[in-house]
Structure 1
Amino acid sequence: MTVELHADERWAQNLRRMLVGARHEAVMAIARPVRPETEYRAEDTVFRQLHEAGKQVRVLLSAAYVSSRGRQSVLRQFTLGSRIRVTDTEFCNALIVDRERAALWSAAPGEAPRGYLVAEPALLGVVHQFATRTWHSARDLHDHLEVRDGLDVVALAVVEQLYAGAKDETAARALGVSLRTYRRYVAQLMTRFEVSTRFQLGVRVRELGLLG
């Protein structure tokens, strides 16, 4: 069964009620912010209560969501430590409870969210599998924040040039730095990420979601 959800004043209450009713497991995936920060903080409280009660909980955030809200805002909203992970994979907002029901929703900028309540077993299985597999392959929220915060604008630009396969001379010219400075940045990045080749560096920064 699939039922359309209406974005009225009870929207957040209904989602929270659904979450509170979790008996075994709850998965929340947030790709884009469609509600105020305070509402997500309220749900974090419920997630912490479920976690303390021994329930399996997972929170998946998109890198775009984290970037749009900012470090301090995200850390205020979500406090479950390693149960919160960040991915570059595309997905829609979702709340999945006990593999028995799921709310899926999204919203274009300036528009009210539109969503659906899903209880059809086959579709639920696909949604749950996608969400949990993506969560397991994602990076810890704090790792994501610390890696990006530890790199300045030039270092991130160097990463982009390396991934694009640009020659050192071309990359240095594009960034407006000397060849020696460019190569120093490359060496520092290789040391930081504990790799011995530029290829390994490219793979590593891609895994950490530093590109795009």
Structure 2
Amino acid sequence: MSVLGLSGAEEDVYRYFLRNPRTPAHDIHGMFPFGEGGATQAISRLRDLRLLHGDDESTWATEPGVAVPRLMEKQLAAMHRTIRQLTNPWPILRSLQRDRQDPLPELSETADGAGVTFRRLEDPREVRAHIDELAFSAQEEVLAAEPYDTLPQENITHRRPVDVRCLRRGVRIRNLVRTTALEDAATLAHLRELHANGAQIRVANELSHQMLVYDSHTALLPIDVHDTARGALLIEESTLVGGVVSLFERLWAAATDFATLTAPGAGRITRLSETQQRVLTCMCTVSKDEVGAQRAGMSLRTYRRHIADLLCALDAGNRAQAALTARERGWV
């Protein structure tokens, strides 16, 4: 399984728990030539990859039909990220330019070669176009602070594929939202889906600064904080962008983790996203994955990936246990 990104030790441990589900994790210590330290390290990474579940007293492996496509997608995303880096030399050029003893004016990606550091985007369509372009070319991280109480369905529909595409390419997303956003069912469902796809989300009681930052290089700020429809300022000046990032980090450090606030028993509504609910219903009523995927309106691989995520969310070792737990929680 090395082509899928697993080391020999990780493959040995994964295969062991396929053959011996629901066994204690420490049972494998001393069973393999890589020793206790190597076994512990392999278990830790397999858990990070969501290929092992449970705890130290009862550990089981993700079924191969889910694990292999998941690893393939991760490897393909890494390859795509490498290709994107090779076809976008600007970060390397900027880094080399900063090291010049007698630096030239900062390079620009604009056609006329002008060193643009500020730009007013007063047309909302132009703002959205720049957001799409910046998200598409992001290499490392997107920071977003969004002081909304509800997110319109139009925005959710537009943002979902953009954000998920970034996450699947391995771009890290950190999102700050207001506590009041969790009171809106549609907004909460969107945040749950974003979080399920890998985004890090934190919640702040007081949040008034709206900002977007891409790769710590480009920032978008509203021209008027009280009326975002007036447009945005696109900033590429390193000192100013650095200040925006510092503000975001302070707000992030003071915020509360989204998963903690929305966990069962945390005092807030626990609700699946619309997609998760559809998959869960199909899983509980349809015996064949091919039929379930067709009813859910998605590919077989995506359907099985959602099922694997649901098993994790329900802390279930198999689909029958997941269905029982879901019924106990009133999800189906």
Aligned residue identity for 2:204: T
CA contact (8 A) 1:31 1:64 kept: no
Name the CA distance, whole Å, in 2 between partners of 1:138 and 1:66. Answer: 14
The answer for the alignment partner of 1:32 in structure 2 is: 148
Instruction: Map residues 56-205 of structure 1 onto 2, 5 A cutoff.
Output: 56-67=172-183, 70-76=184-190, 79-81=193-195, 83-105=200-222, 108=226, 112-145=229-262, 147-149=266-268
Name the CA distance, whole Å, in 1 between partners of 2:209 and 2:129. Answer: 20
Once the two structures are TM-superposed, the CA of residue 124 in structure 1 deviates from its matched residue by 0.6
Aligned residue identity for 2:177: L
Q: Which runs of 5+ in 2 are unaligned?
A: 1-116, 270-332
Structure (1/2) with the larger strand percentage: 1
Once the two structures are TM-superposed, the CA of residue 113 in structure 1 deviates from its matched residue by 3.5
Could you say if the C-alpha distance between residues 34 and 65 of structure 1 is closer, same or farther in structure 2, counting changes exceeding 3 Å?
Answer: closer
Aligned residue identity for 2:172: Q
Once the two structures are TM-superposed, the CA of residue 85 in structure 1 deviates from its matched residue by 1.4
SS in 1 for 2:212: strand
Name the CA distance, whole Å, in 2 between partners of 1:80 and 1:8. Answer: 24
Aligned residue identity for 1:99: S
Q: Which runs of 5+ in 1 are unaligned?
A: 151-212
CA contact (8 A) 2:204 2:256 kept: yes
Residue 51 (structure 1) aligned with residue 176 (structure 2): no
Once the two structures are TM-superposed, the CA of residue 35 in structure 1 deviates from its matched residue by 6.9
CA contact (8 A) 2:156 2:190 kept: no
The answer for the alignment partner of 1:14 in structure 2 is: 130
Higher relative contact order (CA 8 A, sep 6+): 1
Superposition TM-score, scaled by structure 2 size:
0.39
Once the two structures are TM-superposed, the CA of residue 66 in structure 1 deviates from its matched residue by 3.8
Report how many residues are paired: 147
Name the CA distance, whole Å, in 2 between partners of 1:14 and 1:58. Answer: 19
Aligned residue identity for 2:268: D
Aligned residue identity for 1:108: H
Aligned residue identity for 1:2: F
Moved segments of 4+, more than 4 Å: none
Aligned residue identity for 1:53: R
Could you say if the C-alpha distance between residues 10 and 38 of structure 1 is closer, same or farther in structure 2, counting changes exceeding 3 Å?
Answer: same
Aligned residue identity for 2:241: L
Could you say if the C-alpha distance between residues 76 and 88 of structure 1 is closer, same or farther in structure 2, counting changes exceeding 3 Å?
Answer: same
The answer for the alignment partner of 2:328 in structure 1 is: none
Question: What's the CA shift string for 1:78-122, capped at 9, x where partnerless?
Answer: 52326111112433221100111010125536x724321111111
The answer for the alignment partner of 1:166 in structure 2 is: none
Question: What's the CA shift string for 1:51-85, capped at 9, x where partnerless?
Answer: 22222221111224444xx0343323552326111
Question: What's the CA shift string for 1:133-172, capped at 9, x where partnerless?
Answer: 422432222433453427xxxxxxxxxxxxxxxxxxxxxx
Could you say if the C-alpha distance between residues 77 and 7 of structure 1 is closer, same or farther in structure 2, counting changes exceeding 3 Å?
Answer: farther
CA contact (8 A) 1:104 1:116 kept: yes
CA contact (8 A) 2:124 2:230 kept: no
Moved more, 79-88 or 139-148: 139-148
Aligned residue identity for 2:189: L
Aligned residue identity for 1:17: E
SS in 2 for 1:23: coil
SS in 2 for 1:50: helix
The answer for the alignment partner of 1:3 in structure 2 is: 119
Aligned residue identity for 2:209: C
- Percent identity between matched residues is 18
Name the CA distance, whole Å, in 2 between partners of 1:60 and 1:44. Answer: 16
